[in-house]
């Protein structure tokens, strides 16, 4: 069977190319491979279709002159690029802050569940975390606006009054509908996703590695650092990317929490400074028609491109570490 010739998988090397003939699975094997390849190709086609659709719908806006674009009531920038710029900035700022909040916490939770908590407790906790991944973004939005914002209010007031000389914390205005609140909600939102994947990955650490580390007299933390974390690193990056993907594209929660604005601003506590692309589309789309729809879809295209760039970057990080995997 041609399929089974050398280097047939990404990781299996020639050592598992035994002399035994495995022709038993002839047609079925071929069919199975064909099916899975077709599934892979579907992804290619789908994505090409989405990209094509985005470009097609965005084209009128991409080719329109600034003067034409400025006829749109909300379009106050000089060009499409200078309109999208602050949106990209806001989207990235919110997502990066969310990741900064969520990743350390998720690793902590995942480690706690996989290696620290008693078994029974761990099972229940894992279950609760899984459930949280399913809470609709609308509810995160409601929770952020109605519960979290009042809780954060005194903290932010304190921050801006005592640390207000740092631009990051200056200019707070109640209620807490600023980018930091939105980021915290996004962080909480992607926490269950990152945790769930990280936990599964940590649980898959080869037991032998762990026991070897402990047998050498390692403390639990040393064992985690030497055996668990290196093993889970690639999975962790994947998990973070999943989380980042959700944070970048999150619509409803940001829409309901953030007081939007279109500036390049590091005033995290001031309202009306930032906006994310997805929330902007959702806010403007219902009343948009004609060219303004195209302009909105062009911002969607920009988000698509950002995701592309961010993922390239992540790939590059993983590829430097890819040799460590269970299937090697």
For the stretch 228-232, contacts whose Cβ atoms lie closer than 8 Å and that sit 24 or more positions apart, written own/partner, are: 228/111, 228/114, 228/115, 228/202, 230/324, 231/201, 231/202, 231/204, 231/205, 231/206, 231/324, 231/326, 232/198, 232/201, 232/202, 232/204, 232/205
Q: Which of 157, 245, 266, 317 binds another protein (CB under 8 A)?
A: 245
Give the whole-angstrom CA distance, residue 306 versus residue 62: 17
**Judged by CB under 8 A, which of 104, 166, 167, 216 binds another protein?**
104
Q: How far apart are the C-alpha atoms of 264 and 77, rounded to whole Å?
A: 13
As a whole number of Å, the end-to-end CA separation of the chain is 23
| Nearest to another protein of 78, 211 (CB atom) | 211
Q: Which of 109, 159, 186, 295 binds another protein (CB under 8 A)?
A: 109
Q: Which span (61-69, 77-85, 159-167, 246-254) binds another protein, by CB under 8 A? A: 246-254
Residue from 82, 168, 206, 216 touching another protein (CB under 8 A): that is 206
In the region spanning residues 210 to 229, those forming contacts with another protein, defined by CB under 8 A, are 210-211, 214-215, 219-224
Nearest to 214 by CA among 225, 203, 202: 225
The whole-angstrom separation of Cα 188 and Cα 323 is 32
Restricting to residues 78-97, name those near another protein by CB under 8 A. none
Interface residue with another protein among 55, 59, 60, 74 (CB under 8 A) is 74
Site residues for another protein, window 139-158 (CB under 8 A)?
139-140, 142-143, 145-150
How far, in Å, CA of 250 to CA of 277, rounded? 9
Q: Is 277 in the site for another protein (CB under 8 A)?
A: yes
Scanning residues 284 to 323, which ones bind another protein (CB under 8 A)? 284-289, 297, 300, 303-304, 306-308, 310-312, 314-315
62 binds another protein (CB under 8 A): no
Write each residue from 166 to 205 as x if it is in contact with another protein (CB under 8 A), else as -, in one continuous string: -------xxx-x------x---x--xxx-xxx--xx-xxx
Smaller CB separation from another protein, 63 or 311: 311
Q: Where in 20-59 is the site for another protein (CB under 8 A)? A: 20, 22-25, 28-29, 31-33, 35-40, 42-44, 46-47, 49-50, 53-54, 57
- Whether the link from the prior residue into 304 is cis, omega within 30° of 0, is no
Rounded to whole angstroms, the Cα distance separating 106 from 235 reads 13
Sign of the C-alpha dihedral computed for residues 20, 21, 24 and 26 taken in this order: positive
**Binding residue for another protein, selected from 9, 14, 65, 162, defined by CB under 8 A:** 9
Contacts to another protein from residues 110-139, by CB under 8 A: 111-119, 122-123, 127-139
- Least distance in angstroms from the C-beta of 268 to another protein: 14
Number of residues in contact with another protein under rule CB under 8 A: 157
Structure tokens at 231: 């093993």
Q: Decide whether 43 or 67 has the Cβ nearer to another protein.
A: 43
Q: How far is the CB of 179 from another protein (least distance, A)?
A: 13
Answer whether 274's CB lies under 8 Å from 260's CB.
Answer: yes
Smallest gap from residue 218 Cβ to another protein (A): 8
**56 Cβ partners below 8 Å, 6+ apart?**
none
Report the nearest approach of another protein to the CB of residue 2 (Å): 12
Q: How far apart are CA 153 and CA 159, in angstroms?
A: 10
Q: How far is CA 168 from CA 145, 154, 266, in A?
A: 21, 17, 6
List of residues 6+ apart from 126 with CB closer than 8 A: 113, 196, 199
Check if the beta carbon of residue 318 is closer than 8 Å to that of residue 84. no
Pick between residue 96 and residue 214 the one whose CB is nearest to another protein.
214
């Amino acid at each position: 069977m041609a399929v089974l010739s050398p280097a047939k998988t990404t990781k299996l090397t020639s050592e598992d190319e035994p002399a035994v003939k495995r022709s038993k699975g002839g047609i079925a094997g071929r069919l199975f491979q064909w099916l899975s390849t077709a599934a892979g190709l579907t992804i290619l086609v789908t994505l090409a279709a989405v990209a094509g659709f985005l470009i097609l719908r965005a084209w009128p806006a991409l080719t329109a002159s600034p003067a034409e674009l400025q006829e749109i009531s909300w379009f106050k920038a000089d060009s499409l690029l200078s309109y999208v710029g602050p949106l990209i900035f806001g989207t990235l700022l919110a997502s990066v802050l969310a990741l900064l909040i969520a990743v350390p916490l998720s690793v902590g939770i995942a480690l706690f569940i996989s290696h620290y908590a008693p078994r029974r407790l761990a099972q229940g906790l894992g279950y609760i975390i899984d459930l949280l991944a399913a809470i609709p973004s609308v509810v995160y939005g409601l929770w952020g606006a109605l519960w979290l914002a009042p809780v954060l209010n005194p903290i932010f007031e304190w921050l801006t009054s005592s640390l207000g000389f740092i631009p990051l914390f200056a200019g707070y205005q109640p209620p807490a509908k600023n980018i930091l609140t939105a980021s915290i909600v996004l962080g909480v939102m992607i926490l269950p996703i990152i945790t769930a994947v990280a936990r599964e990955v940590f649980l898959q650490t080869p037991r032998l590695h762990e026991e070897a580390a402990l047998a050498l007299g390692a403390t639990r933390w040393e064992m985690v650092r030497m055996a668990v974390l290196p093993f889970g690193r690639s999975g962790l990056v994947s998990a973070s990317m999943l989380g980042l993907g959700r944070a970048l594209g999150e619509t409803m929660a940001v829409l309901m929490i953030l007081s939007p604005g279109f500036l390049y601003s590091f005033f995290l506590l001031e309202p009306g400074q930032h906006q994310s692309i997805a929330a902007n589309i959702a806010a403007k789309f219902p009343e948009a028609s004609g060219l303004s729809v195209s302009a909105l879809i062009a911002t969607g295209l920009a988000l698509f491109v950002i995701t592309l760039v961010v993922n390239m970057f992540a790939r590059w990080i993983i590829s430097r570490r890819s040799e460590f995997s269970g299937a090697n």
